[in-house]
Chain A
Amino acid sequence: MFIRFLLLQIKTATRSPMWQKNLALNLVIGFFLLLFAGYLLMLGLLVNQIMNELLPHQDHFRLFNGILIYYFLGDLLIRFLMQSLPVLTIESFLHLPIRKGTIIRYMIGRTLFDIFSFLPLFILVPVTFTIVIPHEGGLIASLWISTLIVLILSNNFLVTYLKRLLGTKPAVVGAFGLVLILLVILDRANLISLSSISSDIFGYFTHHPLLTLLLVGWMIFTYRLHYQFLSKHLFPDEMQKKKVKEIHDQAESRFLKSMGLTGSIISLEFKLYLRNKRTKTILYMAPVFLLYGMYFYPQNHNQYQDVVLLFVGIFMTGGMMLNYANYAFGYESCYFDGLLTKNIDFNQYILVKFYIAVLISTLCFILTIPYVFYGFKILLINAAMYLYNIGVLSFVLLYFATFNKKRIDLSRGGAFNYQGFGAMNWLALIPTFILPLLVYLPFRMSGHPNTGIAFTGFLGIIGLFFTRFLIRQITKSFFRRKYIMAASFREK
C-alpha cells in the first residue's frame, strides 16, 4: 500500500502541468541540489583536515560533537520554517476499504522523504569514517551514527507533528519555540554552554548503548505523538488548517472611491496582495530587497564598486516592482475570463497597473533614502536607478507580462514557488540587469561614470514622457495575446 501511495504521489507530481511546463526549471533545481550535496560531501570529508589546520591540538571528536546540538536545534527551526507537509488528498482514500492506520503510516512515513533528512547524511557519514572510526573504533562509530540518524528521524516526526498542531493548538507550538529561544539566549549569555553539553551528551551516548535506547524511545514517542494526532484528526475538514477568517467590511477609502474605475482596480490589487498566500509571502520578502544595501554598502570599495552599487540600486528600488509587473496578469489568471467579458477599458486598466508599479518603486525608493548615510552618491545612484525603473523597466516588464501565460494559484506560498515562472520571466531579467549596465559601461570606460549614471536616469524620464504611447503598445500586445493567455489561465 505504501508503495502504491508513493506511486500515486509521483504521478500527481509528474502529471501536473506545472511539472511538464517547468521541466527545465526542475532540472536546474535538481542540479543545484546535487551540487549542494556534493559540497556537503566534500565538507564532510575535509572536516577533519580543517580541524587539524585550525585547532590542531584538540579532541576532534569532542569538537564535532559540540556542534551537533546547534545543528539539531537549527534543524528543528529550519524544518519548521521550510519543510512542507506532503499533502495526500485523503478524501480520495477515506471512503475506500483501506485501514486508517495504513493511511496514517504513509502520511508520516512520507515526511521522511525530504531533503532535510538526507542532506545531513552527506556530512555525517564521511565524518564517521574520518573522525569517529579512527578515534573510537568501528563499534562506537556505528552506535554514534545510528544515534544521530535516530535523532534526525525524531526531529522529522516532531516538526511535522508540530506543524500539524499549528492548525489546532498554536499555543503549544509557541511555547515550544519559546523554550528553544530561551536555550539560545542562556547560551549566548554564557549561563550555560550548549556546545559543552552537546559534547558531553553525544560523547556519553556513544559509550552507553542503553542511553541510545532511550533516544530510540524518544523517536518512537515523537512518532506516536504524530500518529495519535492524525488518528484523532483524520477528517478532511480537520486536516485543513485554514480557518475561515471573517472579513470585515472595510470602508473603501474615499480617495480611491473618487477615482472611479481606477480606484476600484487599485483597491482590487491591494486586496489581491493582502488576501492571498502567495502574494503575502512576497510582501514578507520585501524587507529582504530593501536590506540588500546593508550588506553591500559597508563593504570595502573595490574597482567594481560602482557597478555593484548600480545593481544594488536597481534591485532595491525595482525588485518589488519586478515581481508585481511580471505577474501583472498572471496573478489574475483565476478570474481572467471574468475580466475579459466585462466592460473594462483595458488601456486604462493597464495604465493603472503601470501606476501601481510606479507607486511600488517609489515607496521602495523612499525607504532606501536613509542609505544616504553611506554617502550622498548612493542616494544619487539610487535615484537614477529609480527613474530608470519607473520609466523604462516598468513598461518592458508589463509588455513581457502579456507573454506570461501560466495560471497561478494564489493560495500557495510564494517562497520557492516557481509556479508561473516561465521563460519570459528569465527574459525579463535581461532588461532589468543588463540594459542599464550596457548604458552605463561606455560612459564608465570613457571616464565619465557620473554622466553614465545620470544618463541612465535620464532614459527613465524620457520613457515617462511617452507613457500614453507605450501603454497603448502594451494594450495592443495584450489584445493580441488575450486568447492565448485566457486559454492557458483556464488550465489548472
Chain B
Amino acid sequence: MIEIRNLTKIYGKQTVLNIPELKIDKGESFGLVGNNGAGKTTMFRCVLDLIRPNTGTVLSKNNNVASTEIWKHYTGSFLDDNFLIDFLTPEEYFRFVADVYRLTAGDLEAFYQEFEDFFNNEILGKRKLIRNLSSGNRQKIGIAAALMPKPEILVLDEPFNNLDPSTQIRLKSILKSWQKEKEITMLISSHDLNHITEVCNRIVILHEGIMVHDLVTNPDTFRVLEEYFAVKG
C-alpha cells in the first residue's frame, strides 16, 4: 500500500530522517514510536507530501505522492492544528471537507451518527468557532474529519494527545473496528506505549531518523518497548 524508498530529510547538517526501505501492506496498522525529535512527524509529512525529502520517494499504491495527487482521494490525515480551519464552526468545517470529497448530505448525516459517541455532545450544535474550542475537542474534530471520507489510508500524528480518557477509549475502538471491517491501512504515532501496542499490529521505533526496531505486535511487545525506552531515558 505504502512503500518508502531511500527516504532522507536533512536540515542543515542534521539528518532528521533516513529510511532506506519500508513497506506497509494493505490493512496493516503501523505504529510509530520514538522520543521527541526522532523524526515521526517528518516521516508523516513526507508521506503526505508536505515536505520535500532530500532523497527518495514515497509510493502510495505505486503512485509517487510528490508527483501525483490521486492518493489524496483515499488518504485521510490529521497531524496538527494546521489542518483545521479555525474560524469555522465544526459543522461548517465538516461540510467543507464533505464538499471537497464530494460527499452528499446523506453521507454527512451518516458520518454525524457514526461519530455521535466520539463527539460526546461537545462538538456539534455548540455554535462556537473551532478556535474557541479546547485542544482536546479540536483534536477530535481533526481526527473525525480525517476519517470522514472513509479513507483507505489513515495518517494520524499522536492522536491520543489531549483527548480525555473516554475519548481515548472510543478512538481505540473506532480504529480497531475500522481495521477489522474496512481493512484500513493506518499510520499512527504515539508517545503512549499502551495505546499503540493495543491498536497497532506492527510497531516501528524511530531514533534520530533511523528505524531501530521493527516489531510485529505480540503480548511481549509492550515490555520490549518499555525496556528500550527505559534505557534511552
Q: List A residues at the B interface (Cβ < 8 Å).
A: 244, 246-249, 252, 260-261, 263-264, 268, 271-272, 275-276, 334-338, 340-344, 410-411, 483, 486-487, 489-490
A343 in contact with B100 (CB, 8 Å): yes
Shortest C-beta distance, B160 to chain A (Å), equals: 20
What A residues does B158 contact at CB under 8 A? none
| Residue of A whose beta carbon sits closest to that of B52 | A483
B82 touches A247 (CB 8 A): no
Determine if B2 is an interface residue (Cβ-Cβ < 8 Å). no
A244 adjacent to B51 (CB under 8 Å): no
Decide: A246 near B50, CB < 8 A? Known: A268-B96, A335-B83, A342-B100.
Answer: no
* A261 contacts B99, C-beta separation under 8 Å: yes
Instruction: Let me know if A338 and B83 touch, CB within 8 A.
Output: yes
- Is the CB of B176 closer than 8 A to any CB of chain A? no
Within the complex, the shortest CB–CB distance from A396 to chain B, in Å, comes to 26
Residues of A within 8 A of B100 (CB): 261, 264, 342-344
Asked if B127 lies at the interface with its beta carbon under 8 angstroms from chain A, I say yes
Contacts A334-B86, A337-B83 supplied; 17 other A-B pairs, CB < 8 Å: A248-B127, A268-B96, A271-B92, A275-B129, A335-B84, A335-B85, A338-B82, A338-B83, A340-B49, A340-B50, A341-B50, A342-B100, A344-B72, A411-B131, A483-B52, A487-B51, A490-B82
Cβ distance A343 to chain B, nearest Cβ, rounded Å: 4
Inter-chain contacts of A264 with B (CB < 8 A): 95-96, 99-100
Task: Say yes or no: A341-B51 contact (C-beta < 8 A), given A246-B127, A247-B127, A247-B128.
Answer: no
Contact assessment for A247 and B48 in the assembled complex, using a CB-CB cutoff below 8 Å: no
Complex contact B83–A341 (CB within 8 A): yes
- Where chain B touches its partner, the secondary structure class is loop
**In the complex with contacts A246-B127, A483-B52, A268-B85 CB distance below 8 A:** yes
Inter-chain CB contacts under 8 Å: number: 85
Number of interface residues of B (CB under 8 A): 36
B75: interface (CB < 8 Å): yes
Please indicate the chain B residues that have their CB under 8 angstroms from the CB of A489 in the complex.
Answer: 82
Is B82 in contact with A335, judged by CB distance below 8 angstroms? yes
B92 to chain A: which residues have CB within 8 Å? 271
- Give Cα distance in the complex from A252 to B85, angstroms: 17
> Chain A: which residue is nearest B87 at the CB level?
A275
Within 8 A of A (CB), among B10-64: 48-52
26 examples of A-B residue contacts, CB within 8 angstroms: A244-B132, A246-B127, A246-B128, A247-B129, A261-B99, A261-B100, A264-B95, A264-B99, A264-B100, A334-B82, A335-B83, A336-B82, A337-B50, A338-B82, A338-B83, A340-B49, A341-B49, A342-B72, A342-B100, A343-B73, A344-B100, A410-B87, A411-B131, A483-B51, A486-B50, A489-B82
The answer to whether B132 and A337 have CB atoms under 8 Å apart is no
Contact of B97 with A342 in the complex, beta carbons under 8 Å: yes
| Complex contacts, B128 vs chain A, CB 8 Å | 244, 246-247
Bound Cα distance from A248 to B128, whole angstroms: 9
Cβ of B76 to closest chain A Cβ, rounded Å:
9
CB-based contact B129/A486 at 8 Å: no
B77 proximal to A (CB < 8 A): yes
Q: Which residues of A contact B149 (CB under 8 A)?
A: 343
Q: Which A residues touch B131, using CB under 8 A?
A: 411
A244: chain B residues within 8 A (beta carbon): 128-129, 132
Residues of B within 8 A of A490 (CB): 82
Q: Can you name the residue of chain A whose Cβ is closest to the Cβ of B83?
A: A338
Contact of B87 among A263, A276, A343, A483 (CB under 8 A): A276
B147 to chain A, nearest CB (A): 13
| Structural contact, B79 and A337, CB atoms closer than 8 A | yes
Any A CB within 8 A of the CB of B91: yes
In this complex, what residue of B is CB-closest to A483?
B52
Check if B183 is an interface residue, CB within 8 A of chain A: no
Nearest 5 pairs of A and B residues by beta carbon: A338-B83, A264-B99, A337-B82, A343-B72, A275-B87
Chain A neighbourhood of B102, CB < 8 A: 260-261
Interface residues of B in 144-182 (CB under 8 A from A): 149
Query: Which residues from chain A contact B48 at a C-beta distance below 8 Å?
Result: 340-341
Q: Quick check: is B198 within 8 A (CB to CB) of the other chain?
A: no
Q: Is B139 an interface residue (CB 8 A)?
A: no
Check: B1 CB closer than 8 A to any chain A CB.
Answer: no
- Judge whether B8 is part of the interface by a CB distance below 8 angstroms: no
- B82: which A residues are within 8 A, CB to CB? 334-338, 489-490
Cβ–Cβ < 8 Å partners of A268 in chain B: 85, 88, 96
CA distance A246 to B125 in the complex (A): 11
For residue B84, which residues in chain A have a CB less than 8 angstroms away from its CB? 335, 338
Task: Please measure, in the bound complex, the distance between the C-alpha atom of A247 and the C-alpha atom of B80, giving whole angstroms.
Answer: 24
Which residue of B is nearest A276, CB measured?
Answer: B87
Q: B190 near A: Cβ within 8 Å?
A: no
B146 smallest CB distance to A (angstroms) = 9
CB atoms of A341 and B127 under 8 A apart: no
| B101: interface (CB < 8 Å) | yes
Closest to A342 in B: B100
B89 on the A face (CB < 8 A): yes
What CA separation (Å) do A275 and B86 show in the bound complex? Answer: 10
Which residues in B have their C-beta under 8 angstroms from that of A342? 72, 97, 100-101
Given A275-B129, A341-B48, A487-B51: A335 and B86 interface contact (C-beta under 8 Å): yes
